[in-house]
Structure 1
Amino acid sequence: MKAMILAAGKGERMRPLTLTRPKPLIEVNGRPLIEHHLLALAAAGITELVINHAWLGDQLEAALGDGRRLGVALRFSAEGEPLETGGGIFRALPLLGSAPFVLVNGDIRTDFDFGSLALPADCLAHLVLVDNPAHHPEGDFGLLEGRISLETAPRFTYSGIAVLHPQLFAGCAAGAFKLVDVLRPAIAAGRVSGERWPGRWVDVGTLERLAEAESLFGTAS
């Protein structure tokens, strides 16, 4: 299975740190944020990776290179202007192939085991949900008997970790659109599975949450 890391955002809420470097290269727990994902994916046996980028993307390519020093093989999908989550994935599909792939938001910090991920045969996506953090108390989706629901309560927060089938994007056109735009019809059709994960997870979207991640995870391994 291949994986894609979303790394195209400008990280405006992390300024001034992101004025001169992309958010995935901000250090947390002794490493650039994105390196934690690369190492965790490699440890799970997922070594063929695609990273999209836009804001200061040349720095990402220069810092990570072909990924060999981190035990992975990297390819990059340059966007110029960000295409949002769905549009960025759609643009990268030729690099990802026709099989299901792991998707990871580049701006989370977690110790989730990527090797545990799987996609049921009748599903187009599998989402990992977490308990709602203080900054997102309403959550995103419900979970009912292993399937994601738009109606069920309680609602949990999408962690930024998923498995997607390229067929999820059938009928899409190039341009900017959100991942949720293609997830909602698939959820309504009962074709999105999910799980609730209770482990450590931080959405490193602000300077305050960067400090939270430093505290929660301690020194890098």
Structure 2
Amino acid sequence: MNSVLNVSAYRFVDIADPHALRAALLERARSLDLKGTILLASEGINLFLAGAPEAVRGIVAFLQLEAKESWSQAQPFRKLLVKVKREIIRMDTPSVQPARGRAPALDAKTARRWIGQGHDDAGRPVVLLDTRNAFEVDYGTFDGAIDWRLSKFSEFPAALAARRAQLEGKAVISFCTGGIRCEKAAIHMRDSGLDNVWQLEGGILKYFEETGGAHFRGKCFVFDGREALDTSLQA
């Protein structure tokens, strides 16, 4: 029986004192017997946690996050880590500040429809841009998705500068595991002058949850002991 609730969630929000929040979250998560990783920075919070459903949902509600949920039979994390970082997802591009304004988000059902018809509602051809690392893409991705073979996300700005012509005149859907990387990527693309860019709301995991994984081939790599999830969110 799958009784362990696994969640991934993030939020770009100004945090005045990440170190103080770290101490409070570490104490709370330990008291709830949660395991996983919580990353904090002045730009926001990013977490992957697992434990008893009421405990996991309680801390997610406390942090006012919208989480992607999946289930497992056993605890997929060995320990609890709460870290303060310079960025909750490293891009090394200070001008990209999602807390100041997001790029447009595309919900899963609209994305499925656009992918199926091959164009957006204005008739522009749709391209899917995988913003994950190459080894993650190798587990699975959307049919025909662009893969720039990134070894780390901080390579994305240089990759865009070199390959921007692939995206010009297209409706670009930027996607990643849970939404955090494709959100920064979409903002950076719009800042670079690409007008028709969307981030896939909630990433691949939310897409699986809401569409059953249409047009996706393979599995989605996840950063815990389960390694990868299929389109039904099972390891």
Normalising to structure 2: TM-score of the pair? 0.25
- Structure 1 length-normalised TM: 0.26
Larger of the two Rg values belongs to structure: 2
Q: Return the structure number with greater relative CO, CA threshold 8 A, min gap 6.
A: 1
